[in-house]
Amino acid sequence: MGDKANAHPGAAGRATAADHPASVRNVVLVGHSGSGKTTLVEALALTAGAVNRAGRVEDGGTVSDYDEIEHRQQRSVQLSLVPVEWDGYKINLLDTPGYADFVGELRAGLRAADAALFVVSASDGVDGSTRMVWEECAAVGMPRAIVVTHLEAARADFEEMTRICAETFGGDDPDAVLPLYLPLRGPQGPDGHAPVTGLTGLLSQKLFDYSSGERKESEPGEDLLPEIEEARNRLIEGIISESEDETLMDRYLGGEEIDFKTLVEDLERAVARGVFHPVLAAAPAADGARQGLGTVELLELVTGGFPTPFEHPTPGVTTIDGKPREIKACDTEGPLVAEVVKTASDPYVGRISLVRVFSGTLRPDETVHVSGHGLADRGHEDHDVDERIGALSAPFGKQHRQLSHCIAGDLACVAKLSRAETGDTLSAKDDPLLMEPWEMPDPLLPLAIQAHSKADEDKLSQGLSRLVAEDPTMRLEQNQDTHQVVLWCLGEAHADVALERLRSRYGVQVDVVPHRVSLRETFAQKAAGRGRHVKQSGGHGQFAICEIEVEPLPGGSGIEFVDKVVGGAVPRQFIPSVEKGIRAQAAKGVATGHQLIDVRVTLLDGKAHSVDSSDAAFQTAGALALREAAADARIHLLEPVAEVSVLVGDDYVGAVMSDLSGRRGRVLGTEQTNGARTLIKAEVPEIEIGRYAVDLRSLSHGTARFSRSYARHEPMPPQIAERIREEAREAS
């Protein structure tokens, strides 16, 4: 691994179907936006011989030619798969977006991978969101390694960044995060900066020089030996402290020289078990060079130290009716169990699904069963259908190379799955199964939209359905109260990408409009009303009169109707008509057009005509009576209040609580949690937290998360209520 003798100089250029799960490595790259993940993927592809020196695949396009939106925004916005081959292994590199708005793509990458490379910029350090992902990986025992990039920056310090990573990621055991190599710097330039030209292997005590564009091995000079010795001793102690051979530490402390082969094997086992996390350095190849610095070492770490798919436990599997089903991990001859981890649309091919096969073997042109994923609340319908899949392929930039099959443990793109969405399970049609879904972040930023023109209106529904099919972190809401179409997103960048995809991919132009919350009305005092609907102008007339009393009720009571008519003033058959008219008017509102709630309406008296009274007439009279009662009463405007839970680092608790108070929030309490974090619970009016997903991220530097749930409606402050009434009057 990295220090192995006779390192492979480069390998096959074409990604092919894997023959055995043991030869597959699925690796997800994690890191903040701008840390260099995509650049690192391109450097690894170049070293593996999958692209030429210009970074282009043999049949056109670059490895990073994924999405035109990414090129315009100069950042990754979706999960991308780049398969390469190295030394007889197939490595599926899963490049994830680093921006918090696209954490759904990151979680899909974590689901599909067996190990993670955390990419850290030497000039930017480790951000809060990267720390949170590390903790997620630690919770499930996923093997991790750290790659330090941007060593060419003027103030880049590999040793300091390694120390920061050990403190940040090591927890109680900083010796679980140690470098395998030390950067080798060349002569200083005119600006005083000494570029990194190679690496010093701490286990092998060899120099690996990349200055010529090819990795060359040599012996270190005497001046480097003291520095190597100190770092090497600490690395060896870190490795053997995790060794399964309990005698190894005693032998080492007793002065025995542990042989190189034993150290490498123990290192690989410790990495695969997720208890030791090596730190490496990497840089893209210089112009004309064939290998980027550290790329050979990194590929050897992946193939030698990262686990095979056999070591990835299969997520929970059940039958369609919910009975648990035991599935052997990575059994190529077992029942087919695969999962759609990403869905994309190609203008020429149609829908393309990126699939991870957990059991069995997937083949082109076979019929599979598509099982739904239980996200109906987000606009993703549950599925339970059979579909014939199209071709299997391995993506590379904009190219797709045909595959003959995809075995358990491998990934492939599947064409023509018109019904399958991200998170769906593919299984045999005669043995349908369902995988436990992975956790999806809850979209909490509302984006209210409307069609720009009549032509766009005709295409909007289909465009939105395709959009949410691709992205399970997006929720589509058709709000019945405000009559708005709302896309719930993870942040502003997520919303921008959604709008751009609607426009460029589905040809739908939309306008963004202010998001409205679902307000309510109620009576603040008892009031009476009389509804008179009398029309007699020839022919069959209309006659209905009713008298009502309205009084407020406690929150959550809804509309209560009471009949106190005596003496048959309103015939029995028309009393339900009065109630129906009152309820219909309550749904429309009586003051500002918002639904009326929490009142008791009592029907006291009325009049009817033997010929001209009718169901419709008494419905109208009931509505008129309610409107008249409202005209003489004080009406409270009610706003929805959300129960908000904010998980935030202790450093930002004061700022978050102050911000909540400024949003008319009531802090209910705080609770200390693990990892120097505090859970804050509060009640906040929903009208005040429309942009809280964006504001909280800024306030906490991306380290806080929150959830919200509806609590109740309560009276709005008079000055805000008056503004809403004024807006309603202007709109009418």
String of DSSP letters for 420-485: --TT-EEEETTB-EEEPPPP-PPP-EEEEEEESSHHHHHHHHHHHHHHHHH-TT-EEEE-TTT--E
Whose CA is closest to 564, among 577, 589, 546, 580?
Answer: 546
- Provide the 8-state DSSP code for 324: B
The token pair at 381 is: 């319908």
Dist CA 148 CA 135 (whole Å): 19
pLDDT digits (tens, 9 = 90+) for 90-110: 999 999 998 888 888 999 999
Whose CA is closest to 492, among 682, 694, 349?
Answer: 694
pLDDT digits (tens, 9 = 90+) for 112-140: 999 999 999 998 888 888 888 898 888 88
Contact 603, 561 (CB under 8 A): yes
pLDDT mean values, one per 10 residues, the chain (732 residues): 42 59 95 91 89 50 50 67 93 91 90 95 86 86 94 86 92 88 81 81 92 87 86 92 86 86 91 93 80 92 93 89 91 94 79 93 94 65 82 80 93 89 92 89 94 92 86 89 93 93 91 94 96 82 94 93 93 96 95 92 94 93 96 93 95 95 96 88 96 94 91 93 83 68
pLDDT of 373 reads: 63
How many C-beta atoms lie closer than 10 Å to residue 219's C-beta?
A: 8
Strand, coil or helix: what is 188? Answer: coil
pLDDT of 712 reads: 93
Contact 96, 29 (CB under 8 A): yes
The token pair at 675 is: 């990892």
Amino acid identity at 107 = R
CA angle 312, 316, 318 (to 5 degrees): 140
Residue 211 has, within 13 A of its CA and on its CB side, a CA count of 14
Contact 203, 147 (CB under 8 A): no
Question: In percent, how much of the chain has pLDDT > 90?
Answer: 60
Dist CA 234 CA 232 (whole Å): 5
Task: Give the strand order in the sheet containing 24-30.
Answer: 80-86, 89-95, 24-30, 115-121, 144-149, 277-281, 177-179
| Domains of the chain with bracketed CATH | 21-311 (3.40.50.300), 317-435 (2.40.30.10), 446-513 (3.30.70.870), 520-633 (3.30.230.10), 637-731 (3.30.70.240)
Cα 102 → chain centroid: 5
Strand, coil or helix: what is 393? Answer: strand
Q: Which residues contact 672 (CB under 8 A, 6 or more apart)?
A: 678, 679
Contact 93, 115 (CB under 8 A): no
